[in-house]
Amino acid sequence: MTVRPSVAAPVAALACLAAIAAACGPAAAPPDAAAPSSAHTAPAAAAPPPAASADTTALRRAVVRTYADIAFASYTDALRTADALQDAIEAFVADPTDASLADAKSAWLAARDVYGQTEAFRFYGGPIDEPESGVEGLVNAWPLDEAYIDDVDGNPGAGIVNAVAEHPEITAGLLVDLNEVGGEKNIATGYHAIEFLLWGQDLSADGPGARPVTDYVVGVGPNADRRRKVLALEADLLTQHLRIVVDAWDPDELAGYRSGFVRDVDGSLAKVFTGLTELSGGELAGERMAVVYETQDQEDEHSCFSDNTHKDFIAGAQGMANIWRGRYGDVVGTGLDALVADVDPAAAADITAAVDAAVVAMGAIPPPFDQAVMGADDATGRMAVLAAMSSLEQLAARLRSAGAKLGVLGGGGA
């Protein structure tokens, strides 16, 4: 992550605006592709006169399209890494060894780094978390109902894995059905279910879970065959569920979510800002940091089995940075920075600084997170967590006011 000097942002944004205006004039059919990357690298000397809002519509359209491109690219990468995870898990259950278990864990960690960057696409009822059809609860539910899946400390016979009499046959349908008990799709599937099945409970004060490979060796671990089956099915379900989201954002799926999203430009901008402010202020700073900062419940963290929670935070902040700048992987388009700079260059520069500060602050939390939150308020870790919370809250506040200034965000605060 390169931290751009904040003064450069408005200049780049104005240059970008000129390029958009040329590419997306009202006479031409709007191309689906994002603005050319040269817009962002135009020399400062070539900055055009102050932006006129005549081209605001084209600018807004370009921002929404770039966002949709990044969503598609991000979820495509999430699916790709989940596929790799599934391959590693199939290899592991076919031949459970310390080496194949380590490979599966590595694949899980790699997949999380990518999935975490997609969390900025939540919180407005889009493909990932539409109330009726969204798969977020199947993919990323937390907290995990461990005892619904497998044995836990204090209840060795717990879980679907060991419920031989109650559920003699383990199938994908059973896992999905059980997942919906209580009307909520949040019990027993997704990344954290796989994490639990790979790492096991984190019973140590200073390390991740240490599930022995023998849990998967038939004839050694109790119900090892059933545990293998559950793990393999979980990996398969994860890729199936992610594919639904990828398809929804696919520009070639004409009846998919994306086509409506890029048409309803102002409505979609509201969603973009809502997703970012909810993720930074509500979800990351609030639910995931403030709660455990206050309770100091050591395992009250999202990736508690693998002690990977600090990486979830970094990925979340990076996902916001991707959208803000309009860049992710091969996508080099028009970011929100250009849109905000169009109405308030100083605010855009402030937000760029806040985005970068948030990424830095997440990286400054000393891992593992479950140790960082412990101790007295002046402990290094707690101070770093508090600073990270503050940086996210500041970012949320600035994004809220920018969204209001653009007229896409109403009142409200979460």
Partner 1 sequence: MRWAVAHAVADAVVHEGTACRAPTRYALVGRMVPWLRMGVAAVVLSTSGCASGRVATTTAGSPRAGSPTAARLNAVPPAAALPSTAAARLNAVPPAAALPSTVAARPSVTVANTTLDAFAQPLPGLSADERRAFFVGNAFFNDPWVTAPSSTAGRDGLGPTFNATSCAGCHFKDGRGAPPTDDDPDRVGLLVRLSVVDDVGASVPHPDYGDQLQDHAILGVPPEGTFDIAWDEVDGRYGDGTAFTLLRPRFTFRDLAFGPLGDVAAMPAISPRTAPAVFGLGLLEAVPEADIVARADPDDRDGDGISGRPNRVPDARTGAVVLGRFGWKDGRPTIEQQAAAAFLGDIGITSSLHPATNCPPAQAACRAAIDGGSPEVDDAKLARIVLYDQTLAVPAPRDVDDPAVVAGAALFAAARCDACHVPAMRSGPRSTVAVDALADQPFAPYTDVLLHDMGPGLADDRSEHDATGTEWRTAPLWGIGLIPTVNGHDRLLHDGRARGIAEAILWHGGEAEGAKERFRTMTRSERDALVAFVASR
Cβ of 246: how many Cβ atoms within 10 Å? 22
Q: Should residue 332 be labelled a site residue for partner 1 when binding is judged by CB under 8 A?
A: no
Q: Should residue 369 be labelled a site residue for partner 1 when binding is judged by CB under 8 A?
A: no
Of the candidate residues 107, 232, 233, 270, the single one contacting partner 1 (CB under 8 A): 270
**Whole-number minimum distance, CB 32 to partner 1, in Å?**
19
Size of the site for partner 1 (CB under 8 A): 68
Q: Should residue 300 be labelled a site residue for partner 1 when binding is judged by CB under 8 A?
A: yes
* 152 bridge partner residues: 155
Query: Quick one: 132 or 330, whose CB is closer to partner 1?
Result: 132
Q: Should residue 130 be labelled a site residue for partner 1 when binding is judged by CB under 8 A?
A: yes
Q: Should residue 146 be labelled a site residue for partner 1 when binding is judged by CB under 8 A?
A: yes
Angle at 3 between CA 363 and CA 306, to 5 degrees: 20
Q: Should residue 168 be labelled a site residue for partner 1 when binding is judged by CB under 8 A?
A: no
Closest by CA position to 350, among listed 294, 278, 401? 401
Distance, in Å, from the CA atom of 52 to the CA atom of 16, rounded to the nearest integer, reads: 13
Of the candidate residues 13, 64, 93, 144, the single one contacting partner 1 (CB under 8 A): 144
Q: Should residue 248 be labelled a site residue for partner 1 when binding is judged by CB under 8 A?
A: yes
* 328 bridge partner residues: 331
Q: Should residue 255 be labelled a site residue for partner 1 when binding is judged by CB under 8 A?
A: yes
| Contact assessment for residue 362 and residue 388, using Cβ atoms and an 8 Å cutoff | yes
Q: Should residue 368 be labelled a site residue for partner 1 when binding is judged by CB under 8 A?
A: no
Of the candidate residues 75, 115, 124, 328, the single one contacting partner 1 (CB under 8 A): 124
Q: Should residue 291 be labelled a site residue for partner 1 when binding is judged by CB under 8 A?
A: yes
Stretch that binds partner 1, among 38-46, 92-100, 174-182, 373-381 (CB under 8 A): 174-182
Of the candidate residues 109, 164, 213, 244, the single one contacting partner 1 (CB under 8 A): 244
Query: Quick one: 90 or 236, whose CB is closer to partner 1?
Result: 236
Stretch that binds partner 1, among 41-49, 60-68, 104-112, 247-255 (CB under 8 A): 247-255
Of the candidate residues 287, 329, 366, 375, the single one contacting partner 1 (CB under 8 A): 287
Query: Quick one: 38 or 296, whose CB is closer to partner 1?
Result: 296
Q: Which amino acid is at 333?
A: G
Residue 190, Ramachandran bin (φ over 0: left; ψ between -120 and 50: alpha; else beta): left
Q: Should residue 90 be labelled a site residue for partner 1 when binding is judged by CB under 8 A?
A: no
Q: Should residue 243 be labelled a site residue for partner 1 when binding is judged by CB under 8 A?
A: no
Q: Should residue 240 be labelled a site residue for partner 1 when binding is judged by CB under 8 A?
A: no
Distance, in Å, from the CA atom of 301 to the CA atom of 208, rounded to the nearest integer, reads: 12
Query: Quick one: 55 or 300, whose CB is closer to partner 1?
Result: 300
Residue 52, Ramachandran bin (φ over 0: left; ψ between -120 and 50: alpha; else beta): beta
Closest by CA position to 161, among listed 175, 173, 140, 180? 175
| Contact assessment for residue 96 and residue 217, using Cβ atoms and an 8 Å cutoff | yes
**Whole-number minimum distance, CB 141 to partner 1, in Å?**
8
Q: Should residue 153 be labelled a site residue for partner 1 when binding is judged by CB under 8 A?
A: yes
The token duo for 192 is 């954290």
Query: Quick one: 27 or 255, whose CB is closer to partner 1?
Result: 255
Alpha-carbon distances of 410 from 194, 358, 400, 401, rounded to whole Å: 39, 24, 9, 10
Cβ of 367: how many Cβ atoms within 10 Å? 16
| Contact assessment for residue 107 and residue 82, using Cβ atoms and an 8 Å cutoff | no
Q: Should residue 36 be labelled a site residue for partner 1 when binding is judged by CB under 8 A?
A: no
| Contact assessment for residue 11 and residue 47, using Cβ atoms and an 8 Å cutoff | yes
Distance, in Å, from the CA atom of 160 to the CA atom of 139, rounded to the nearest integer, reads: 18
Q: Should residue 313 be labelled a site residue for partner 1 when binding is judged by CB under 8 A?
A: no
| Contact assessment for residue 123 and residue 316, using Cβ atoms and an 8 Å cutoff | no
* 331 bridge partner residues: 328
Q: Should residue 251 be labelled a site residue for partner 1 when binding is judged by CB under 8 A?
A: no
| Contact assessment for residue 118 and residue 78, using Cβ atoms and an 8 Å cutoff | yes
The sign one gets for the Cα dihedral 162, 166, 170, 172 is negative
Stretch that binds partner 1, among 2-10, 55-63, 143-151, 371-379 (CB under 8 A): 143-151
Q: Which amino acid is at 100?
A: S
Which residues of this protein are in contact with partner 1, per CB under 8 A? 123-125, 127, 130-133, 141-148, 152-155, 158-160, 163, 166, 180-184, 186-187, 201-202, 244, 247-248, 255-257, 260, 270, 274, 278, 281-282, 285-287, 290-291, 294-295, 297, 299-300, 304-305, 389, 393, 400-401, 404, 410-414
